[in-house]
Structure 1
Amino acid sequence: METLTKEHYPLGTKRPELLFTPTRKAYHELTLDAAIAGEITSADMRISPETLLLHAQISDSLGRTQLANNFRRAAELIRISDERILQIYNALRPNRSTKQELLAIARELEEEYGATENARLVREAADVYERRGRLKKLEE
């Protein structure tokens, strides 16, 4: 498999044959006519993890490491329900969770979803919150 670089961006123009939705519809199938005919559902309009990983490759080729990491984390999150993502987001807000609660979320991300990059980010947040005194205080 080839590694994509900045020359392949934008993918929709330069490499559309690589783009598929999570329902495996090809990029070229996502047309207004198809939508009017009822051949496209809302699930067809979502981005696939594979597409996000292609964007990560391009970002890496530009030296935009943080952006590439964001694309990789986003690709992992696609397998997680929107409801659970919002719960995790709220748990990551300062003073909302104990360190143990955040570490449990990191384990869940890794073990249930294979989301190792996101788990690493949650563990890092737990450590930073601990250093800065931003963890939830236990009732005494």
Structure 2
Amino acid sequence: MALSREDYPLSVKRRELIRTYTGKSFDDINLKSVNDGSISQGDLRISGNVLMYQAEIAEACERPQLAENLRRAAELTVVPDNKILEIYNALRPHRSTKQELLDIADELEKKYNAKRCAALVRKAADTYERRGVLKR
């Protein structure tokens, strides 16, 4: 599907494309559904597809870095929250060895098919090594 800048914002122009992580439509998310208990916290999570649609729009608006960030975010929608926090902490300076970061990258790529995120962690490992901010 080719989206363009005219499709922004999706919630107004292409709301039929918006589905939550659990498959609820944009119109399913409303105060009545919250009050009657038919919407759970998990239903409020964004799906990888919606983030990829947003990336297409960003690309069409000549915002390639934003598009890449959205694509990485889309990959992370399948990674458990506790794993994301673990990775975040591991990426802080002096928290991980190069091998630990490379192991995280391998896990992201092999277990979660998060190739863009894995590439970013590998780049961080090389940069941290060059800057001397790896754990000793």
What's the TM-score, normalizing by structure 1?
Answer: 0.95
| Residue 21 (structure 1) aligns with | 20
Task: Report the secondary structure of 1:17's partner residue.
Answer: helix
Report the equivalent of 1:54: 53
Q: Give distance in 1, aligned partners of 2:90 and 2:67.
A: 24
1:118 positional shift: 0.3
Residue in structure 2 matched with residue 83 of structure 1 by the alignment: 82
Structure-1 separation of matches of 2:30 and 2:98 = 47
Deviation at 1:78, TM superposition (A): 1.0
Residue aligning to 1:115: 114
| Cα distance in 2, alignment partners of residues 95 and 22 from structure 1 | 34
CA–CA distance in structure 1, aligned partners of residues 105 and 113 of structure 2:
10
Letter in 2 for 1:26: S
Counterpart CA distance in 1 for 2:51 and 2:72 is: 9
Aligned to 1:43: 42
Residues of 2 paired with 1:56 and 1:74: CA distance?
Answer: 10
**Cα distance, 1:38 vs structure 2:** 1.3
Report the TM-score when normalising by structure 2.
Answer: 0.97
Q: Distance in 2 between matches of 1:69 and 1:123?
A: 16
Task: For 1:86, give the aligned amino acid.
Answer: L
The Cα RMSD (Å) is: 0.7
Q: Runs in 1 of length 4+ with deviation above 6 angstroms?
A: none
Instruction: Tell me the equivalent position of 1:129.
Output: 128
Q: CA deviation at 1:59?
A: 0.5
Taking the aligned partners of 1:46 and 1:9, their CA distance within structure 2 comes to: 20
Structure 2 alignment gaps of length 5 or more = none
Q: What is the alpha-carbon distance in structure 1 between the residues aligned to residue 95 and residue 28 of structure 2?
A: 44
Counterpart of 2:7, as a letter, is: H
Counterpart-to-counterpart distance in 2, 1:121 and 1:36: 41
For structure 1, the 5+ residue unaligned runs are none
The alignment partner of 1:52 has SS state of helix
Cα distance in 1 for partners of 2:55, 2:109 equals 20
